C-alpha cells in the first residue's frame, strides 16, 4: 500500500531524513518509534504533503501512485489521512462545516456525489458517539478551546468520518491521560481492517499496549535502524534507544 524508498528530506536546507525505506501492506499496523528529533514528524508531514518539506531524493508511492505528484488534498482523496501531533485551531469554522467540507472534498475527488446534510449528520453523530465525543463539540469552532485530549479525539472522529485506507498518526498518544488514550486506541482499532493500514508514530510504548502493531521500526537520526515484531517495542521500553539500536 505504501512504499517508501531511500527517502531524503530537507527542511530549510537541513537534511532531516537520510535514506529511509518502508513498506506497508494492507491489513498491517506499523509503529515507528524514536526520540525527539529523529525525524518522525518530518516523515509524517512529508507523506501528507506539507510544502516546506523538500524531498531531495527517493520516492513515496501510495497504491502505485507517486505521492509527490499529488497535492495534499489529492492524497486524502486517494485514501491517506494524517493525524496531527498538534491539531490546529481554526476560529470561525465550525467542526461540522469542516468535516462536511472535507468529506465532500474527498467525494468530489473520487467523482462521487456530495453527502446530503441528513446523511452527514447521521454519520458524524454515530462516529462522535463511538468515540465518546460530546455532540456539542461538533458545533464549536475547530479545536478552539479543546483540551489536548479533546483535540486528539477530534482527530479520531475526523479519521472515522473520512475512513482512509492508510492513516498516519503522528504522536496521537502524546499528552493524553489514560482514559483519553483508551478512547483514541479504540478509534484506531476500529479503523483496523484487512483493507486498511495504519502507521503509528510514537515516542513511547504506551499506546502500543492498546494497539498491537504488526511491525515495529526504530528510527534514529533520519533512518530506520532496526525493524522487528511487537516485542521490539517492549525491548525499547526496557533497555532504552541507545542499547537497542
Partner 1 sequence: MPDTVIDTYQEQMQELQGSLPGWDGARSNALDRLRTIGLPTTRGEDWRYSDIKAIRNTAFGLMKTPARNPQVPEALCDVAARLVFINGRYHEGLSDLGDLWQAASVRPLANHLMANAERVSEMRQGGDGINLLNTALMRDGFVISIPAGIEIDDPIEIVHLTSDADSTSAHIRHLVEMGEGASATVLERFVGDDTAYWSNSMLQARITEGATLNHVRLQEEGANATHTATAMVSVGAGGNYHATNISLGGSLARFEARVRLLVDEANATVDGVALAGTGESHDMLVHIDHRMPNTTSDQIFRTVADARGKSSFQGKVTVATDAQHVNADQSFKALLLDRTAEANAKPELEIFADDVKCSHGATVGELDEKAMFYLTSRGIDPTTARQMLVEAFTDDAFDRTGNDTLADGIRARVADWMLNHTGGSND
Considering only CA atoms, which of 1, 24, 31, 23 is closest in space to residue 171? 31
Binding mask 32-61 for partner 1 (x = CB under 8 A): ----------------xxxx----------
Report the first-to-last Cα separation within the chain, whole angstroms.
27
Binding residues for partner 1 restricted to 56-85, rule: CB under 8 A: 71-73, 76-77, 82, 84
Closest CB 92 distance from partner 1, rounded Å: 3
Asked if 119 and 178 touch (Cβ cutoff 8 Å), the reply is no
Which residues from 128-187 bind partner 1, rule CB under 8 A?
A: 158, 162
Touching partner 1, residues 84-113 (CB under 8 A): 84, 87-88, 90-93, 97-99, 101-103, 105-106, 109
Least separation, in Å, of the C-beta of 25 and partner 1? 24
Burial 44-58 (b: 16+ CB within 10 A, else e): bbbbbbeeebeeeeb
SS3 (DSSP) at 175? coil
Q: Which residues of 174-202 are buried (b: 16+ CB within 10 A; e: fewer)?
A: bebeeebbebbbbbbeebeeeebbbbbbb
Closest CA relative to residue 19, chosen from 9, 27, 32: 9
In the complex with partner 1, the residue whose CB is nearer, 38 or 48, is: 48
Residue 170 CB, nearest approach to partner 1 (Å):
11
* Count of residues near partner 1 by CB under 8 A: 28
C-alpha cell at 212: 498491537
Smallest gap from residue 207 Cβ to partner 1 (A): 21
Using CB under 8 A, list all residues that contact partner 1: 48-51, 71-73, 76-77, 82, 84, 87-88, 90-93, 97-99, 101-103, 105-106, 109, 158, 162
Amino acid at each position: 500500500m505504501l512504499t517508501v524508498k531511500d527517502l531524503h528530506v530537507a527542511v530549510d536546507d537541513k537534511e532531516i531524513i537520510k535514506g529511509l525505506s518502508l513498506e506497508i501492506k494492507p491489513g498491517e499496523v506499523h509503529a515507528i518509534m524514536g526520540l525527539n528529533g529523529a525525524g518522525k514528524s518530518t516523515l509524517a508531514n512529508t507523506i501528507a504533503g506539507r510544502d516546506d518539506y523538500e524531498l531531495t531524493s527517493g520516492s513515496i508511492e501510495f497504491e502505485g501512485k507517486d505521492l509527490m505528484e499529488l497535492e495534499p488534498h489529492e492524497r486524502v482523496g486517494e485514501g491517506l489521512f494524517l493525524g496531527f501531533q498538534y491539531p490546529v485551531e481554526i476560529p470561525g469554522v465550525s467542526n461540522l462545516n469542516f468535516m462536511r467540507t472535507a468529506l465532500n472534498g474527498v467525494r468530489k475527488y473520487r467523482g462521487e456525489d456530495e453527502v446530503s446534510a441528513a446523511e452527514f449528520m447521521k454519520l458524524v453523530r454515530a462516529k462522535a458517539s463511538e468515540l465518546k465525543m460530546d455532540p456539542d463539540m461538533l458545533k464549536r469552532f475547530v479545536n478552539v478551546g479543546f483540551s489536548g485530549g479533546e483535540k486528539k479525539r477530534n482527530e479520531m472522529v475526523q479519521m472515522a468520518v473520512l475512513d482512509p485506507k492508510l492513516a498516519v498518526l503522528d504522536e496521537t498518544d502524546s499528552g493524553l491521560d489514560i482514559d483519553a488514550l483508551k478512547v483514541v486506541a479504540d478509534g484506531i482499532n476500529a479503523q483496523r481492517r484487512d483493507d486498511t493500514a495504519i502507521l503509528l508514530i510514537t515516542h513511547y510504548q504506551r499506546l502500543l499496549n492498546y494497539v498491537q502493531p504488526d511491525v515495529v521500526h526504530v528510527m534514529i537520526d533520519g533512518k530506520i535502524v532496526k525493524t522487528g515484531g511487537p516485542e521490539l517495542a517492549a525491548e525499547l521500553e526496557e533497555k532504552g534507544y541507545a542499547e537497542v539500536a
